[in-house]
Structure 1
Amino acid sequence: MSTINDDPTSPTRSFERSNALQSRLHELVPGGAHTYARGADQYPEFMAPVLTGGSGCTVWDADGNSYVEYGMGLRSVTLGHGYRPVVDAVCATIANGTNFSRPTELEVLAAEDFLQLVPGADMVKFAKNGSDATTAAVKLARAATGREKIAICDQPFFSVDDWFIGTTEMAGGIPGETTSRTVTFRYNDLESLAAVLSSDDVACVVMEAATATAEPAPGFLQGVRNLCDRHGTLLVFDEMITGYRWSAGGAQTVYGVQPDLSSWGKAMGNGFPISALAGKRRYLELGGLRTDEDRVFLLSTTHGPETGALAAFRAVVRAYAEEDPIGRMEATGRLLADGVNAVSADLNLLEYVHVVGRPSCQVFITKDTSKRPSQPFRTLFLQEMLRNGVLGQSFVNSAAHTVTDVEKTIDAVRASLQVYGRAIESGSVDGFLRGRPVAPALRRHAAPRRL
């Protein structure tokens, strides 16, 4: 049994057990993790903690080290790890069974809860992961319009399915004819979207209304809505990240633009596996029993309506109604950004390291001596932050992050930037970074990285 090491500056901070477990994972699991973004190649070499648990925003690894965590389960945890009302609701519910051969009353209650939060949606169908929900929206759009092309915004990620992954560097195994049916337009650029839609052969536009680093320009989203209406194209909002971080009703309620369909997940269950497809009745009924049209095989999953995740979702809804988790995330997020940027400015590094984004969904920018985004310098920053007790590929926070946690993080940033600054002065990370740099998760070749 490991001894807990709560002192982030302790010279005894070790990754020995984590490294052994990671090595074993590579023997058992392709890539050494079940999610590419969680892979060891996304962290400094031999400093990828394998976790054993967490509470609030603190996590522990197999070597007994503790960290203030950011990213929070790939943005899926907004209330904190082990948030008691959610855990209690799940435990009480699953004691009476988790999966049945007919719908449960809980499915009615959860659907009602969801639709009360999303006024632009008439119906909802629950599933287990975001890719399934977003792909179901694409299928509905194709069926409703009789068209095959999909227009996606130049944003990071929409689905593991062929229509999207075929456009990335990891397109192996995907037929070219599938990829050819997906076209791209630029965010905050209505002219690029108008050009894509001009042929009137696009079934739907798939996009995030906003991202951590990009807010919609005035009139942009309404312009997208208008273009879709003009060309008979359905508008699909991906609310995986914006839902429950921008608002419990998603970005569509913040910006006042209603899509035809929307896909949800991540923070819906505070880490429990649940996603949703929501939208207008006339489209969702194509996958139902009240239609005279040819039916669409929409979402039909064994575990989509299991009771544990639905109970977690309802507890999340209660928390958002009774508390102010988004307000807390935004308050500590602003405090963190101001503090980190002040430290960076004080060390004359603001042009190299700074925090950007919505306060509830922030990222850090790391640049090299030429002031260009740099993977080696990003890895150096991650390395030093780990040494100083902070784990995270971003500064995406949760309502569990306190002022004290933020202060600890700012202290860790100051210590880390001391090393970063010396690397900038020397012209490279050589002599400061131990091991290979991190690499993009979606890349064509898995170069040898001694993993």
Structure 2
Amino acid sequence: MNDRDTPEFALPRSRAANERLHALVPGGAHTYAKGDDQYPEDLAPVISHGRGAHVWDVDGNRYVEYGSGLRSVSLGHAHPRVTEAVRREIDRGGNFVRPSVVEVEAAERFLATVPTAEMVKFAKNGSDATTAAVRLARAATGRRRVAICADHPFFSTDDWFIGTTPMSAGIPDEVNELTVTFPYGDLAATEEILSRYRDEVACLILEPATHSEPPPGYLAGLRQLADRYGCVLVFDEMITGFRWSEAGAQGLYGVVPDLSTFGKALGNGFAVSALAGRRELMERGGLRHSGDRVFLLSTTHGAETHSLAAAMAVQAVYAEEGVTARLHALGELLAAGVREAAAGMGVGDHVVVRGRASNLVFATLDGNGQPSQEYRTLFLRRLLAGGVLAPSFVVSSALSEADIDHTVDVVAQACAVYRKALDAGDPGPWLGGRPVKPVFRRLV
């Protein structure tokens, strides 16, 4: 029987829940990257619960999950050390009219984990932290322009970044003109930008590493350029923090930024982020200086005790159990298995695993070797049907070798269908509906 004639995997309860979501929530999700347009048509699971490396949808299906919580859940769902710490603080009260002692304990723990920083301020999401870094850089330098790395997908929900994307509706052109871009890995091009806008660029902001390692000497070269042109160097460590090392890329590569931002894995799914950096800069948002005050970060829920307790528990588990080493080992095992499965089905040049072992993504390429949303849709459909929820292959430490073996088996089955579509020259018969779509696009 041709596989196009086999019964289709279906998610009727998830489909109904998605309809309810769209009636109440713009986009059907509170995060665009979780939208059902990112998944094959009518195959966007709505999650009931999760434990460890597994999640269950409202239809009762269990999945091995990757990219958990958009890379935020690196220890696995409902990790006992984290949930125990959270429960303990919830019973003691979560938010007071003055700082809790937990705030100083969390700050001390964080600065011990990231010793390249001298001060830290906590918030709830990454966008607030990166925007605070930009505001602080502008205040410290007296300059207006922000230089962002053009090769990195996301920095903030705020205007200084979103205005540079296809979803710039509602953002004045005057704001967009204050953000310029530079390419990753190209020091000469970055210096050209700094020279062209001499004495105008407040900061360089980038992810210090992504799907490829920084070229030799690149981060150190950026440090030198920032010093030479008098701008602030900001490392966005939302992803690299607690995946490259506990102290992020700066801890691994030994280049110290002026400011850095952390989040995601810091709370293992609980809402906590951090802006950290040099005392001279950070204190401008404090009370112990004589200059103009900077409204750095001030959020009602920024220092909720249970989220800070979660962050401290996460750091303790990382230190005691060698979590970053485990993430790399699991990722290497998964990458090798997927590559072998793809090659064995004759699609090794089309299903491509990329990135650091602790932060793997995959590309789906068409017959001409070009990225294809249609082939991604085909691939995702087959993974879902096999019990693998994988918008990426970003691992958590809760995965077992049996989980990875299962994933590789499902990938092999998906690659067999992929080969048929390539041979037919048309993935359409295997899509089951419209293709998945990129998050950043001008029109729905």
Q: Which residue of 2 aligns with 1:253?
A: 251
How far apart are residue 200 of structure 1 and its match? 2.5
Distance 2:199 2:294 in 1: 22
Distance 1:12 1:84 in 2: 37
Alignment check: 8 A CA contact 1:58 1:68 kept: yes
Amino acid at match of 2:302: G
Match 2:177 to one of 152, 177, 180: 180
Please show how residues 26-425 of structure 1 align to structure 2 within 5 Å: 26-154=22-150, 155-198=152-195, 199-211=198-210, 213-425=211-423
1:248-280 deviation digits (Å, cap 9, x = unpaired):
111101111000000111010100000000001
Which moved further from structure 2: 253-262 or 320-329?
320-329
Alignment check: 8 A CA contact 1:169 1:443 kept: yes
Q: Which residue of 2 aligns with 1:4?
A: none
How far apart are residue 14 of structure 1 and its match? 3.3
How far apart are residue 354 of structure 1 and its match? 2.0
1:353-397 deviation digits (Å, cap 9, x = unpaired):
121111110011111111111010011100110011100110001
Distance 2:361 2:242 in 1: 18
1:380-437 deviation digits (Å, cap 9, x = unpaired):
1001100111001100011001100000000000111111110000001121110000
Amino acid at match of 1:278: A
Distance 1:279 1:88 in 2: 30
Distance 1:96 1:13 in 2: 46
Alignment check: 8 A CA contact 2:102 2:305 kept: yes
Amino acid at match of 2:233: L
Structure 1 unpaired stretches of 5+: 1-9, 447-451
TM-score (norm 1): 0.96
Amino acid at match of 2:330: T
Alignment check: 8 A CA contact 2:331 2:358 kept: yes
How far apart are residue 152 of structure 1 and its match? 0.3
Question: What SS class does the counterpart of residue 94 from structure 2 fall into?
Answer: coil
Alignment check: 8 A CA contact 1:14 1:63 kept: no
How far apart are residue 346 of structure 1 and its match? 1.1
Question: What SS class does the counterpart of residue 141 from structure 1 fall into?
Answer: helix
1:152-189 deviation digits (Å, cap 9, x = unpaired):
00111000000000000000000111100000000000
Question: What SS class does the counterpart of residue 41 from structure 1 fall into?
Answer: helix
Distance 1:348 1:13 in 2: 25
1:98-150 deviation digits (Å, cap 9, x = unpaired):
00000011101100000011122110000000000000000000000000000
Q: Which residue of 1 aligns with 2:428?
A: 430
Q: CA RMSD in A?
A: 1.0
Question: What SS class does the counterpart of residue 431 from structure 1 fall into?
Answer: helix
Distance 1:350 1:66 in 2: 28
Alignment check: 8 A CA contact 1:361 1:396 kept: yes
Q: Which residue of 1 aligns with 2:3?
A: none
Question: What SS class does the counterpart of residue 358 from structure 2 fall into?
Answer: coil
1:301-348 deviation digits (Å, cap 9, x = unpaired):
110011110010010011011101111111111111111101111111
Distance 2:428 2:9 in 1: 23
Alignment check: 8 A CA contact 1:165 1:171 kept: yes
Question: What SS class does the counterpart of residue 151 from structure 1 fall into?
Answer: strand
Which moved further from structure 2: 10-19 or 157-166?
10-19
Question: What SS class does the counterpart of residue 125 from structure 1 fall into?
Answer: strand
Q: Which residue of 2 aligns with 1:5?
A: none
Amino acid at match of 1:65: N
1:18-56 deviation digits (Å, cap 9, x = unpaired):
000001100000000000000000000000000000111
How far apart are residue 13 of structure 1 and its match? 5.0
Please show how residues 429-448 of structure 1 align to structure 2 within 5 Å: 429-446=427-444
Amino acid at match of 2:201: V
Distance 2:331 2:297 in 1: 36
1:66-120 deviation digits (Å, cap 9, x = unpaired):
0000011100011000100000110011101000000011101100000011122
Amino acid at match of 1:435: G
Alignment check: 8 A CA contact 1:368 1:428 kept: no
Structure 2 unpaired stretches of 5+: 1-5
Which moved further from structure 2: 318-327 or 155-164?
318-327
Q: Which residue of 2 aligns with 1:15?
A: 11
Runs of 4+ deviating beyond 2 Å:
10-14
Question: What SS class does the counterpart of residue 342 from structure 2 fall into?
Answer: helix
* Matched residues, number: 436
TM-score (norm 2): 0.97
Alignment check: 8 A CA contact 2:10 2:42 kept: no
Question: What SS class does the counterpart of residue 350 from structure 1 fall into?
Answer: coil
Amino acid at match of 1:28: L
Alignment check: 8 A CA contact 1:13 1:65 kept: no
How far apart are residue 192 of structure 1 and its match? 1.1
How far apart are residue 12 of structure 1 and its match? 8.7
